[in-house]
Amino acid sequence: MSDTEETRIVTPPAETDAAEAPVYIAPGDPAELALCVEAILMTVDRPVPAAKIAEAMNLDSAKPVTAAIAALNEQYDKAGRSFRIEQLAGGFQILTLPRFRDVLATMHKTSAGNKLSAAAMETLAIIAYKQPVLRTSIETIRGVACGEMVRQLMERNLVKIVGRAEEIGRPMLYGTTKHFLELFGLSSLKDLPKAEELAKP
């Protein structure tokens, strides 16, 4: 770690209450920094940007945070842990490994009612790949009316209105939400599978 990337010391004044004192991290102590990053990520239920973690730790740069995350994931892999830190929706979050999906679903009694229907998944896929997209375009691809399906996806916070088309009547354009990225474990829309990959048996 270079001098410019070295972790800054923040020393709480003597009169500051311990519970309110800012984080103290010794310079050149990546292990302590990693523990702080881990503690932050263990207490949130949404992806957190590295810059926000750095701000909470009074760091001048997000680079030590991303380095700490890489070190933590290496430790998790070596120890055979059931989770790792993943980058998605513009931030970082601790997630369980995919191979534990079934046992966790059973434990939490995931109901069929929470699952998207085939029609909803088809509509969502069209929006994800074609966005920003008009409802008429979705209906042309699917061959059926999609107004109700789009409404349901909006209620689930998977789809949102992202603008209006420069056409007569200024019809609404639809796109996916940040929650969509979180739900499907994507860092950005660039991580969507390519069409040729989906076509493989």
pLDDT score of 120 more than 70: yes
Q: pLDDT class for 189, splitting at 50, 70, 90?
A: confident
Partners of 84 in the β-ladder: 95
pLDDT of 126 over the 70 cut: yes
- Whether the predicted pLDDT of 137 surpasses 60: yes
- pLDDT of 13 > 50? The answer is no
Residue 185: its H or E element: none
pLDDT in the model for residue 183 = 83
Please tell me the predicted confidence (pLDDT) of residue 135.
Answer: 92
d(CA 100, CA 178): 24
What is the reported pLDDT for 108?
67
186 Cβ contact list (under 8 Å, min separation 6): 88, 89, 180, 192
Each residue of 46-86: pLDDT tens digit?
A: 889 999 999 988 888 899 999 999 999 999 999 999 899 99
| Mean pLDDT value across the chain | 81
- Quote the pTM value: 0.54
Complete domains list, the chain, with CATH: 3-99 (1.10.10.10), 112-199 (1.10.10.10)
What pLDDT was estimated at residue 68? 93
User: Which candidate, 30, 28, 52, 29, places its Cα nearest to that of 40?
Assistant: 52
What separation in angstroms does the CA of 156 have from each of 18, 92, 152? Answer: 42, 22, 6
Q: What angle separates helix 135-142 from helix 147-155, to the nearest 10 degrees?
A: 120
Region label for 71, one of left (φ > 0), alpha (ψ between -120 and 50) or beta (otherwise): alpha
pLDDT for position 2: 44
Band of residue 123 on the pLDDT scale cut at 50, 70, 90: very high
Q: Residue 18 has what pLDDT?
A: 42
Cβ proximity of 50 and 66 under 8 Å = yes
